[in-house]
Amino acid sequence: MMITKRQYFATVDKGEQEYTIDIVEETSNVFTVSIDGKSSTVDFARMGDNLYSIIIDGRSYDIDITEKGDIFSVLMGGDHFDVEVLDEMKRLMKLRTSAGLEGRQVIEAQMPGMIWKVLVEPGQEVEAGQPLMILVAMKMENEIKAPKAGVVQELFVKPDQTVAAGDKLAVVE
Amino acid sequence: MMITKRQYFATVDKGEQEYTIDIVEETSNVFTVSIDGKSSTVDFARMGDNLYSIIIDGRSYDIDITEKGDIFSVLMGGDHFDVEVLDEMKRLMKLRTSAGLEGRQVIEAQMPGMIWKVLVEPGQEVEAGQPLMILVAMKMENEIKAPKAGVVQELFVKPDQTVAAGDKLAVVE
Amino acid sequence: MPDIIKKILVANRGEIAIRVFRTCRRLGIKTVAIYTHADRTAPHVRYADEAYCISDTETDTSYLKADKIIEIAKKAGAAIHPGYGFYSENPTFVQRLEEEDIIFIGPSAEHIKLMGSKTGARNAMVEAGVPVVPGTKNAIRDVDDAKKTAREVGYPIMLKAVHGGGGKGMRLVNSEEDFDSAFRMASSEAANAFGNGDMYIEKFIVGPHHVEIQILGDKHGNALHLFERECSIQRRHQKVIEEAPSPFINDETRAKMYEVAVKAVKAIGYHSAGTLEFIVGSDQNFYFLEMNTRLQVEHPITEMITGVDIVTEMIRVAEGKTLTYKQEEIFRNGFAIECRIYAEDPSNNFAPSPGLITVYETPGGPNVRVESGAFAGYEVPLYYDPMIAKVCSFGKTREGAIIAMKRILTEYKVSGIKTSIPFHQRVLKNETFLAGNYDTSFIDTKFDMEDLQRKEQKDPSVALIAAAIKQLISEKISAQRSVTRRDVGESNWKRFGRLTSLGNRLG
Amino acid sequence: MPDIIKKILVANRGEIAIRVFRTCRRLGIKTVAIYTHADRTAPHVRYADEAYCISDTETDTSYLKADKIIEIAKKAGAAIHPGYGFYSENPTFVQRLEEEDIIFIGPSAEHIKLMGSKTGARNAMVEAGVPVVPGTKNAIRDVDDAKKTAREVGYPIMLKAVHGGGGKGMRLVNSEEDFDSAFRMASSEAANAFGNGDMYIEKFIVGPHHVEIQILGDKHGNALHLFERECSIQRRHQKVIEEAPSPFINDETRAKMYEVAVKAVKAIGYHSAGTLEFIVGSDQNFYFLEMNTRLQVEHPITEMITGVDIVTEMIRVAEGKTLTYKQEEIFRNGFAIECRIYAEDPSNNFAPSPGLITVYETPGGPNVRVESGAFAGYEVPLYYDPMIAKVCSFGKTREGAIIAMKRILTEYKVSGIKTSIPFHQRVLKNETFLAGNYDTSFIDTKFDMEDLQRKEQKDPSVALIAAAIKQLISEKISAQRSVTRRDVGESNWKRFGRLTSLGNRLG
């Protein structure tokens, strides 16, 4: 069996602190994971679609991991962590893009639903927090607000359109 | 959408009676099924791996269907039916093989387990019901018996070997 | 002669349809489900003996199809139970059933209508001797008269706009000296907002609790109460946790509330199950708010502390029978708590989270009751209420019920969508909640979002480890994908097993 | 000073490990699981706070690893609960724990040893005034003496071979005139079979019932009973359905049994949970069979009718505390039934059915308790007991518990493996069972295989329709497979959804 080694850089809940993680796959299911040099033996087993049993040096955890790109939403015992895990290349790319595109905000749907009303037009100036449109899901109205002041560059949706979580709704720049 | 039509011939619990079934897929999920000419409208929806919700002319059934080749093990409300469903070609083939291979019995494992003991040798004459081997599963010993008198032609397993349900164990002819 | 009900159509969906079907299955009554196209795979459809689609088109998601429902019920020979919501408090629908000679498992159209009108309900209750929130209800014409009323009602009082709503044109007045200026400002605000400056006076309830009394009545003049439920834990005016009995009211208040509730039910001749909602002040005074003329979401906790099956009683009453019990045969045993599980993401401001449920493990063991409308493989639709289940715990003491619920929630696993389970877990750790000393402002004032964000486990190491390994496995699977292609058609679970071992073993 | 237990290792697996962990989680006690390589994905592993593998190799499936278990318990600082089976009645193991200063949550090694010996147990019970099955136990030397004994014991009697077993060398004697010939034949049969023709006499119990009394004792001389369980529904000497209380014994018998059980427990100074098993004849006479010095599989039904958490009491007793309750504080409320769900195929002579569980929906609603060791995605291993879960129902009456159980079993969905659920559904419809009038011969004499084969639904139309549509869909999927290939790596459930719609929509 080939041994896999990887190094990742991770942040938690969009925090400042960056953790360096080194992983070695020792045998089937068993990994050695070091976080900033502190090493643990980890037995990792899948229980169901997103459900995992993880044993770290004898501690047993029942964890739900939802993967969305490089962001892992980790739910354990009522605690929720959003962990971004990047390898060196992705980390470099991210540093570059976040420098370059700061002024341009792509607004994505945070939940699936139906666009009930669109309140702005392309070219319109908006303030930070100004509602752009109203999305209805499960009998509740949700205002989609401008994350910053700027001009509405693009609108990707129309009223009565159904959207999935993650669909692009608008661009404010 | 293409409409699918099929004709099948079915038996229940290895019984004598043969049913002629005509199916037409009307729209997505909806079928018209005739059994010996008696026709019903059927709404068929999958709920889980083997779990189906079937609505026949307004009657709702919660059914578990396990498929094994052309035999469908149907569990509904505590009732269990083994239904063999063949098209015309398979039906003809079956009639021929059962005539041709009557004397040759392939014994398959009815359950997964471990072969604990093999009690016969190739070439040995056995009586109907004579134990050929003992299979252990879940702390229970299960005797595998000769389905008919004959000679052990082949043995496919050895002691301590693990077998899956459906694995060939022996041939008695 | 009582009508024997042999078949029941539940004009509802999800957990409450299943709840009613459970009683039917126990009693040997046949069941009929209705469903929309979007709900074809909802669990109430396969639970029922019969199921009929009521959608006109594939995109029609409405359950408000009186004509179709009536047609189905007539054809099937079924009585109708409305559940909650939808047609449950619609007098026109009930009236039509009466005309069509279909048994409605609920109160009469008149009672629904009476209690559906705020004024009608208030007047009926005042007549029956039930206390209501003191005040005038009429527009203030003379300020001195109004002050006299305010003195009688007792400060603090609220000045409210007669034509108001949405919190505007309201002013809290703590003492008489503030009355004049408050009245001027509120009246002018109301005039601006609603084009009318008329104001009325209502007593302001300090530390308000939402306490409700479950009642049952039959058509023979019998009525009884099944104790109270405390429903003060609300978020956006939605109840989220209820408990029975109330940890707040004292036995004297309890006894008084039971008495007036039963008296009122008898006075108006109400039959079937119903609930009188009260606002109770920190001084234990209680005032009628409204009466719900239906089975409530939170009825299971009452069933758990009394052993009474409320749906069975509703069916009996609809058949014209008397209630199974007399008041003196009803005993309260222990404490029960209900958590409403919503398909919402508590870590993302409770955004709705519909979608495919991939893992669904419900809690087991003792002292638990789950009323669920979900299962693994179920796609929670966009179109309906986000409540997917109710989970209830029981204990000999309140503390016992709480620690049971904590244990129970740790066993409730839902993947694929987000649920409010972590929110409930936080509430169950909040000190004000544990002390049983909360009012309706709890979520806003005592349980702040910090409670929700706070982590039991401050160290993120385990999460980091889990995420990093998952990333490694995902990378391997994509690498694998680029070199291999697999057949379609193998069992879903076989494939799942293979992917798992692929993830675990490939190196 | 009592030892406070802060952590518990359960030297067991599956549902009983989880059962004990549930109480620990409620009490705030940390938990330790042990597991074999084959059980890495068993649910008790992820339920615990800590988990340690005890397998020496990948193929080692044994849980009998005293050295490792002791080492883990010492390192973790945990007390040990044995569950049932494995080390639960092993005095050597318990002795070692006592030596190693590890708290054992169970009785003392001496009591286990005493009750593990048939003769020792019998003598101790006789001494404590507990009735045992009358007979000689010594080899018959003189036929006339033996006849005298038989007369005293009362016909019918059994002649049994002293060195016998497996049902051989036994003879039922109905009256004295048959004694001589029966003795000659049985003795000669025994001589042939076992090389020794010695025989003894035992009373033959007509219509025997298996009734057991649950007891609790502490280290301070307190003992109490938690009423009885009726366990006469057995298949191949395995209990399959138990109920509490017994529908058979009368109140006089009940009272006598409770009294002798508690007296016996006090007489021998037993502590922790235990069960006295009795055989009760159709004449209501009862005789001690054996004492189980452990938590029993069927303890939940006793918990349901008493509200006592037996595991909590075991932990208290192990800590040196007194029992929570006095006898007069224990009340019996209602009826409870347990069905043991086995991974066995009742339509194939109860062949073991291990394998991957693809759908696992446990029953919800009121009056149910599920103790399960399975979940969707779990592969039931070959190596262990086939019991995957216990499901219990509660009712105010026995009939109520039975109809609740019927409803409950219809909601229990397990796909991928076969289970004994349909078998239980048949038993619950059997008239002898419903009458509560069964003895230990029930499965063989009253519930024949015809009961099992009989179908509710005689018309196979629905099954034919279901199978034919499934065949059509499978044919389409294989046709599709031969023309398309799909990527690996998509979500398991996404793929499931796609396959479903493929099956449903492709034409």
Q: Which helix (H) or strand (E) holds C503?
A: helix C492-505
SS3 of D178-213 = HHHHHHHHHHHHHHHHHCCCCEEEEECCCCCEEEEE
Quick check: B55 and C45 CB within 8 A?
yes
D409, D421, D474: residue with CB nearest B67: D474
Measured CA to CA in angstroms, residue D93 lies from D81, D82, D85, D112, D268 at distances of 12, 10, 13, 11, 21
Question: What's the rounded mean pLDDT across residues B17-42?
Answer: 94
Can you give the pLDDT at residue C276? 98
Quick check: B59 and C50 CB within 8 A?
yes
Which residues in chain B (115-154) have CB-CB distances under 8 A to chain D?
137-140, 142
Can you give the pLDDT at residue D190? 85
Q: C310-318 vs C14-27: helix axis angle to the nearest 10?
A: 70
- A157-170: burial string, b at 16+ Cβ within 10 Å, e else: beeeeebebeeebb
Least confident interval from B30-34, B152-156, C365-369, D314-318: B152-156
Q: What is the spatial distance between Cα A128 and Cα A86, in angstroms, rounded to a whole number?
A: 30
Q: Which of B73-82, C259-268, D185-194, D469-478 has the highest mean pLDDT?
A: C259-268
Nearest alpha carbon to residue C377 among D404, B52, D13, D389: B52
Select the more confidently predicted residue: D144 or C96.
Answer: C96
Stretches where chain D sits below pLDDT 50 are 1, 485-493, 495-507
**Catalytic positions of C, written as ranges:** 294
* Cα torsion B146, B150, B151, B154: sign: negative
Q: What is the spatial distance between Cα D53 and Cα D436, in angstroms, rounded to a whole number?
A: 45
Quick check: D26 and C403 CB within 8 A?
yes
What token pair was written down for C471?
A: 């990333």
Give me chain B's average pLDDT, please. 88
D351, D386, D416: residue with CB nearest B49: D416
* Cα torsion C395, C396, C398, C400: sign: negative
Q: What is the spatial distance between Cα C340 and Cα C374, in angstroms, rounded to a whole number?
A: 13
Q: CA torsion D461→D467→D468→D469, rounded to 10°?
A: 110
Nearest alpha carbon to residue D240 among D490, D485, D419, D48: D419
Quick check: C493 and D364 CB within 8 A?
no
Can you give the pLDDT at residue C138? 81
Which residues in chain D (443-472) have CB-CB distances under 8 A to chain C?
none
pLDDT for A15 beyond 60: yes
Split at pLDDT 50, 70, 90, the class of C167 is low
Question: How do residues A89-125 score in pLDDT, each as one tens digit?
Answer: 899 888 877 655 557 788 888 778 889 889 999 999 9
Question: What's the rounded mean pLDDT across residues B65-94?
Answer: 92
Q: Which helix (H) or strand (E) holds C211?
A: strand C209-217
Can you give the pLDDT at residue A28? 82
Q: Please compute Rg for chain D using Cα positions.
A: 26
Cβ-Cβ contacts under 8 Å, A77 against chain D: none
pLDDT for C505 beyond 70: no
How many other CB atoms are there within 10 angstroms of residue C456's CB atom?
11
Contact between D327 and C341 under an 8 Å Cβ cutoff? The reply is no
Question: How do residues B93-109 score in pLDDT, each as one tens digit?
Answer: 888 776 555 577 888 88
Question: How do residues C387-404 score in pLDDT, each as one tens digit?
Answer: 999 999 999 999 999 999
Can you give the pLDDT at residue C482? 63
Residues in chain B: 173
Contact between D305 and D335 under an 8 Å Cβ cutoff? The reply is yes
Chain B interface includes C360 (CB < 8 A): no
Nearest alpha carbon to residue C167 among C186, C146, C140: C186
Q: Which of A30, A42, A47, A63 to mutate to test the interface with D (most CBs of D within 10 A)?
A: A47
Q: What is the pTM of this model?
A: 0.90
Can you give the pLDDT at residue D128? 95
Q: Is B117 exposed, middle or buried (0-12, 13-18, 19+ CB in 10 A)?
A: middle
Tell me the three state secondary structure of residue C461.
helix
C346, C426, C463: residue with CB nearest A81: C463
Q: CA torsion C295→C300→C304→C310, rounded to 10°?
A: 30
Q: What is the spatial distance between Cα A170 and Cα C472, in angstroms, rounded to a whole number?
A: 33
Question: How do residues C296-324 score in pLDDT, each as one tens digit?
Answer: 999 999 999 999 999 999 999 999 999 99
Quick check: D47 and A48 CB within 8 A?
no
Which residues in chain A (23-52) have CB-CB distances under 8 A to chain D?
29, 43, 45, 47-49, 51
For B15, residues 6+ apart whose C-beta sits below 8 A from its C-beta are none
How many other CB atoms are there within 10 angstroms of residue A121's CB atom?
8
C307, C376, C492: residue with CB nearest D499: C492
* Cα torsion B160, B166, B167, B170: sign: positive
Percent pLDDT > 90 in chain C is 76
The distance from CA D218 to its chain's CA centroid, rounded to whole angstroms, is: 24
For C106, residues 6+ apart whose C-beta sits below 8 A from its C-beta are C81, C82, C88, C94, C112, C272, C273, C293, C294, C295, C314, C318
Q: What is the spatial distance between Cα C351 and Cα C419, in angstroms, rounded to a whole number?
A: 10
Long-range CB contact pairs, D430-435, < 8 A, 24+: D433/D233, D433/D241, D434/D402
What token pair was written down for C35?
A: 């469903």
Which residues in chain D (285-314) have CB-CB distances under 8 A to chain C?
300, 303-304, 307, 309
What token pair was written down for C84?
A: 């909650």
Nearest alpha carbon to residue C339 among C369, C302, C379: C369
How many other CB atoms are there within 10 angstroms of residue D59's CB atom?
11
Q: Is the previous residue joined to D245 through a cis bond, with omega within 30 degrees of 0?
A: yes
Can you give the pLDDT at residue D491? 47
